């Protein structure tokens, strides 16, 4: 499973923000966050990612 989010030119900054929070994401094309979770990812890990993403977006607002 692969999930890609086109976040524009902010992708590298967002990637660094995730890294600081110990959450690994990849960037492609300079504008896309690429997520490749394990096939057995649990609800807890998904919630952690979503909460981290919300936190990062609030900081940038």
CB 18 within 8 A of CB 24: yes
Residue ranges in the chain modelled with pLDDT below 50: none
What confidence score (pLDDT) does residue 1 get? 86
What confidence score (pLDDT) does residue 12 get? 96
Whether the full predicted model's pTM is greater than 0.75, yes or no, is yes
What confidence score (pLDDT) does residue 6 get? 96
Report how far apart, in Å, the C-alpha atoms of 38 and of each of 7, 16, 18, 23, 58 are. 22, 21, 17, 13, 27
What confidence score (pLDDT) does residue 61 get? 83
Residue 15, domain extent: 3-60
Give me the number of domains the chain comprises.
1
For 41, the token pair is 């990812």
Give just the sign of the alpha carbon dihedral 28, 8, 14, 23: negative
What confidence score (pLDDT) does residue 35 get? 94
What confidence score (pLDDT) does residue 10 get? 94
């Amino acid at each position: 499973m692969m999930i890609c989010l086109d976040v524009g030119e902010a992708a590298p900054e967002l990637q660094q923000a995730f890294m600081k929070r110990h959450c690994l994401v990849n960037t492609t094309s300079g504008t896309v966050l690429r997520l490749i979770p394990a096939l057995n990812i649990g609800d807890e890990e998904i919630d952690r990612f979503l909460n981290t993403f919300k936190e990062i977006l609030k900081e940038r607002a």
